[in-house]
Structure 1
Amino acid sequence: MITGMDRLVAAINGEKSDRIPVFCNLLDQGAAELGISSLEEYYSNGEHVAEAQLKMREKYGHDNVWSLFYVGKEAELLGCEKIIFSKSGPPNVEDYVIKSYDDIVNLEIPDDISTHPGFEENLKCLNILKREVGGTQPICAYLTAGITLPAILMGMDKWLELLLMGPTDIRDLLIEKCSDFFQREAAAFRKAGADVLVYSQPFGSTDIMPMRLIKELTLPSIKRDLEPGGMDGMVYYCGSSPFNNVIDMMIEKFGFGVFYLSPKDDIAEAKKIINGRALTCGVINDIKLVSWSREEIRAEVKRMLDAGMPGGKFLFGTLVMPYDIPEKNIRAMLEAAYEYGSY
């Protein structure tokens, strides 16, 4: 039997399997899958998350599972005491860790994330996923870049003010501490069995930062984040922000081997820029799956695969799959990806 890992490895190597790999990032849907009405209850237990990931992968047939709970989990590891749990959206930070510059100076980064109490449920989840599908289905982890993490520790507006206006010594101290956290978190996820490390770097898109500041601030922070642990399993990702115009630079300077595009990126253009040097991941605008018809979904998937499959080294993926997407639309998208993505 061909596994999700077989498909991913074949795509990375420029070889053909039965079809392209298909990543479907179902997260909050896990609560409903287990019949748990509260996201707070669901995410409080790593066994719940692992069980739901395994059930949803078996149900839909896609090629990945996630160890991600919610992005604010990283803030909890650094002292966040309150998370907002919505009934129809992903959990988010309510209590910011950093409220003053003194909080930056006093911020302590755990030496070993893998033994931190806040990582205990993640570790439970990873242990189960590794035991059940390790080596056969890619296990994904989400990591926020050092220059991006401050946004969930102090709020985007305050971080942009500090990043762009200083004081530079405090700004650089915070980036350094957040980079230390990234390095240790990446090590913990690798140790626990994650295969795919999604490097979330919105500040690597010119929709967020002008190219001049990407070169002056973002590139040095990327180097600091990634050098100690290396590039194994790293995926360049800028959220939903487009980044075709930085791909060449990221390959030449850091050797990224996988680019998880924005729905706003032109897939054919990305393939031309990458030119066989890395795996291109075309990403559907899954917000539209909430209301699209089956015909619209199939047409969009076909359009994407027609642009991405020539020349190989292509993967079909989603963003964070809003909770309100009807199950029939999830199935329609995946069935189209399996059909049009077959070799």
Structure 2
Amino acid sequence: MIYLDYQATTPLAPEARAAMLPFLDDKFGNPHSPHRMGREAAAAVEVARGQVASLLPGGGRVAFTGGATEALNWAIKGTRGPIVTVATEHAAVLDSVRAVGQAGRGVRILPVDAEGLVDPEQARAAIAPGTGLVAVMLVNNEIGVIQPVEALAALAHQAGALFLCDAVQGYGRVPIPESCDLVAISAHKVHGPKGIGALWVRDGVALEPLLHGGGQEAPGRSGTLAPMLCAGFGAAAALMAARREADAAHVERLWLIATRRLGPEWRINGSVERRWRGNLNLRRDGVDSARLISDLRELAFSAGSACASGSGRPSHVLKALGLSDAQARSSIRLGFGRYTSEEEIDRAATMILDAAARQRMWAA
């Protein structure tokens, strides 16, 4: 099977797997225990913490979590005051924001233009003094568009607000501005294991705990850490740092092959210039994306976020761009990266073109 769903999850790097294996065997100690096995496990966790932190701003601490969803919930529910966010955010942000809004916090959701970008003047008007938190995704998980996070963080700080960046899709690929106060990331989007993420918390930022208990992580997160998952995350992060330029160049080649092979009949959703090139979200009129996915059993790709794939509703991100329901349902997302070959992307494009042509022929 050709795997083109890198935004949903990435293949586990062999180096990450190798780093994890000892903790399944003799290195099974609890990292919060005081004896030698516990101290060895704790030391491995701290090595991983440093590896993960190397791709994040300075002046803060990495707190491991069960995933980016927990990290985002913690950042949103652990802060106070009105919130400003964006219509194209991940459900983990939008649903959390709605939940705290129902509990009485003020909420403002900014629209985006046809490119998927926030209008700076609308943002300036919305992020008023008294705002408590501004939450904006760095690289959109459905369309790959890169928001002007640094400028939005500056507006937040001018208003006296904290700035939360969902950097799940951008971590290790796109520089994360130093001006962020909170950054959420996930291991399995960077060739690490599932079941672990992190929230980076700037020094001096205080959060109310989301999970109460032993307070094992210094900023206030409770729960026993899994050294195996931490080690895998750390190894994956170190590899992202070492391969950043090579991975970016490879992704650029894959993007060029895919866009040239699919041709101008397939229109790209969102900004072409301000995006991560490993995310190709595009549409063709008259194509049913769900049927295309069903027909191409040897090709793994999607019509949008894996988190919302069973809802049956058009993507809220594509709708926010101004697309009609029909246009949203004719859109597909191709995600590729380090372990995708040029031959695979070329063959996948041929398969998609042939299947789409058959659809259109039967519909004629």
- Give TM class, smaller chain: under 0.3
Question: Which structure has the highest helix share of the two?
Answer: 1
Higher relative contact order at CA 8 Å, sep ≥6: structure 1 or structure 2? 2
Which of structures 1 and 2 has the bigger CA Rg? 2
Relative to the length of structure 2, the TM-score reads 0.27
